[in-house]
Amino acid sequence: MSLTDAEVRNAKPSDKVQYLFDGAGLYLQINPNGSRWWRFKYRFEGKPKLLSLGVYPDVGLKGVRAAHTEARKLITNGIDPSAKRKQSEAATKQMHEIVRRIAEGIPLENSFKAVAAEWFDKQSHTWVEHHSKDVQRRLEVNIFPYIGTRPIAEIEAPELLAAIRVIEGRGAYDLAHRVLQVCGQVFRYGVATGRCKRDPSPDLRGALAPHKKKNQAAVQPEDLPDLLRAIAGYDEIGSRQTRLALQLLALTFVRTNELIGAVWTEFDLDKALWLIPAERMKMRTQHVVPLCSQSLRILSELRLIAGKSIYVLPGRNPAKPISNNTMLFALYRLGFKGKMTGHGFRAVASTILNETGFRGDVIEIQLAHCERNEIRGAYNRALYLEERKAMMKWWGDYLEGVASGAKVIPLHGKAA
């Protein structure tokens, strides 16, 4: 039964903590010292949570029920009321901090947020758009509400750790490590520009909960023939364009988004080269992909399918490319869910090419893992392009061989 005003008013403390339950997780906690706290016990994303809703009699039964209802609405909408309260409290604290700093004459340009914004402006032009948005969101959501207005020179390791602990409290251990890395870069920029003396982020080494990095699924080299044969038969259950896209992804082992966003003007089919512009590359460096004869055949088929679209892989709307999930879901339909992803072709190619004996530097450059230094990048492309052409030709022949059932044996040091 629900509580009444008389029950709440007449409840007396004892030598033990008492609980008066109102329903749906709401109860009044009566402590031996006479204090009375409204509590709301709930679960969010499978984890038990406890939210304080005020002290009786400052908050009466009618008022606490209204607050309880609002908290339950937040949960229904996928929002943790405890986390929302912390954000609101952090925003209020941040505003008070700004007022204090202005009153004390502390320059706002030396705040962590200001230094981070300056660092971001210096770096973001070297990043692809989605990475830039990720970094910006990580700072704005996870760090600025807690230390954004603090003078960067005054922030010590315990204060930084407290902000990171909030992320860990959500169970986002991988994100906590990533955010700490970003903070370290901001602090180091602050040191370089004279706004702070040191970077406290290394002091947190060992203080964060460990996390296991998840690699994207990829088949083992010995399972590659089965995968290629399954893809070759995809026309029976899906579209021809998707089958060709998967085959081209296997042959070029570029990142999935690099293939999805490809436009015909990037290709010089006469020279058998695909030139991906810097703005579409993760490392913001122009990338050259030598095209083997198998890739050229696939591109000629895709050209017919694409029609007048500028995209190599147009979606239902020819003015836009296929979605990011098209090839991934095709692998699911082929029975490789959890076993293979579009990114997995890069891992398989790297493993086989290294085992075959191609030079590591050549493989890394073809995977676009090279440095962003523009001069060295241009030099490396010119130096290794002929080796890369030979390697990509071997790779195309190798895939064609294993897909047909031939026993193609890596050459172990003799491929080049």
* Residues with catalytic roles: 255, 282, 343, 346, 369, 379
What region, left, alpha or beta, does residue 46 occupy, with left being phi > 0 and alpha being psi -120 to 50 degrees?
left
Give Cα 56 distance to the centre of its chain: 44
Amino acid at 349: A
